[in-house]
């Protein structure tokens, strides 16, 4: 029997480590547990180290035993969760899949070198034919490949010919996102990743310990641009900035701060009064996007990463989208021919989702 439960916000270990890389969580929780065992009197008693304890001290320890057992259970729970995650991570060879996806998304490998299209194609084919991925995982990897590569007809057939009909139509439905599953003309598959994306990924590799995190969600760039007052207003017309704040990002423009005037961004040092950047993702946001924004919050404690605007970022969306939700969304969409047929018969707008009929 499978029992589902959620970790509460009163669990300080969960609150501290939920947005961190699992390697950081494993190291941090293990260190805290070792310190707990070394310095807790109840733990000493459990180890039989009671030679220097008088009856009064042992009585106090026994009174605190319920709290000790609660703390011990909490540490054990989190360490077991991490162990189970690692077991599944290794059993399904997720590292290999993640490395391919990161290379597709950034155009570079874990060493910061550009990846040849022939090599990445071979890796994708090897992985989808390994028999170790579920149908959802295969489709996710192929959607990532089609999104980041302009495929020749030969390469497209190589990747999609073994897919069930439902998943083949899901790949075709990328056209609704402005992405064709096959390039028109050309003899070689080419990357859609531009040089700026590569440069950002290389820079991220230099400043982090985890090469499987070199791809940066767009939401992170947007929040950073707003905080540093250099975002492109032509691309993000829906961003609303308080009146009086200097957000031009243009050289030669004098900020209100330099005029010794308080803008609406100035919180006066009051934590509660700090300006809020509220990001709402229509259609749903992923756990990776949430973690990216939370990571930005953590970096603000380092003066080297402090943005121009000391703000608090609040993120949300119409849903939290898991990978399975993402691929199922493409399966549920109408094909172009189905959409055109329905609109011609109904004489108006029709939902793209099959379930909306």
What pLDDT digit, counting tens, does each position of 303-346 carry?
A: 565 666 677 888 888 999 999 999 999 999 988 888 888 888 77
Question: So what's the pLDDT on residue 278?
Answer: 87
Cα–Cα distance, 75 to 68 (Å, whole number): 11
Locate 343 and state its tokens.
Answer: 């609109």
Quote the pLDDT of residue 42.
Answer: 62
Report the first-to-last Cα separation within the chain, whole angstroms. 36
Alpha-carbon span 129 to 162, nearest angstrom? 9
pTM here? Answer: 0.76
Closest by Cα among 116, 173, 124 to 144: 124
Per-residue model confidence (pLDDT) at position 213: 86
3-class state of residue 162 by DSSP? coil
Which pLDDT does position 265 carry in this prediction? 43
Cβ pair 222, 235 in contact under 8 A:
no
Q: Determine the angle formed by the axes of helices 135-148 and 94-106, rounding to 10 degrees.
A: 20
Regions in the chain scoring below 70 on pLDDT: 1-5, 40-65, 184-186, 236-271, 300-309, 347-357
CA atoms within 13 A of residue 85's CA, in its CB half-sphere: 11
What pLDDT does 299 receive? 73
pLDDT tens, position by position, 205-215: 887 778 888 88
Greatest pairwise CA separation for the chain in angstroms: 88
């Amino acid at each position: 029997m499978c029992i589902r439960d959620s970790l509460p916000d009163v669990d300080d270990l969960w609150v501290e480590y939920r947005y961190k890389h699992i390697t950081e969580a494993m190291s941090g929780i293990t260190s805290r547990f070792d310190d707990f065992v070394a310095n807790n009197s109840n733990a000493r008693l459990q180890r039989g180290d009671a030679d220097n304890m008088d009856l009064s001290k042992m009585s106090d320890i026994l009174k605190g035993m319920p709290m000790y057992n609660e703390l011990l259970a909490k540490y054990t729970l989190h360490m077991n969760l991490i162990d189970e995650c690692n077991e599944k991570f290794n059993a399904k060879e997720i590292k290999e899949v993640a490395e391919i996806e990161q290379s597709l998304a950034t155009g570079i490998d874990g060493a910061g070198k550009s990846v040849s299209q022939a090599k990445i194609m071979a890796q994708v084919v090897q992985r989808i034919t390994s028999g170790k991925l579920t149908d959802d995982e295969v489709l996710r990897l192929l959607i990532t490949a089609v999104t980041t590569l302009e495929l020749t007809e030969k390469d497209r057939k190589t990747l999609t010919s073994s897919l069930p009909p439902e998943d083949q139509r899901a790949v075709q439905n990328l056209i609704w996102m402005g992405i064709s599953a096959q390039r028109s003309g050309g003899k070689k598959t080419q990357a859609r990743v531009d040089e700026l994306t590569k440069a950002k990924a290389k820079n991220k590799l230099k400043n982090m310990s985890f090469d499987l995190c070199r791809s940066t969600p767009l939401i992170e760039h947007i929040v950073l641009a707003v905080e540093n007052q250099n975002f492109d207003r032509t691309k993000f017309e829906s961003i609303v900035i308080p009146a009086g704040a200097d957000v031009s990002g243009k050289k030669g423009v004098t900020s209100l701060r330099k005029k010794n005037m308080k803008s609406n961004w100035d919180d006066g040092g009051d934590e509660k009064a700090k300006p809020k950047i509220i990001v709402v993702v229509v259609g749903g946001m992923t756990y990776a996007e949430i973690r990216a924004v939370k990571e930005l919050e953590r970096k603000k404690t380092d003066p080297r990463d402090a943005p121009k605007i000391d703000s608090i970022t609040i993120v949300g969306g119409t849903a939290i989208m898991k990978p399975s939700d993402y691929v199922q969304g493409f399966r549920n969409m109408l094909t172009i021919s189905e959409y055109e047929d329905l609109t011609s018969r109904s004489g108006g707008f029709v939902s793209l989702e099959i379930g909306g009929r």
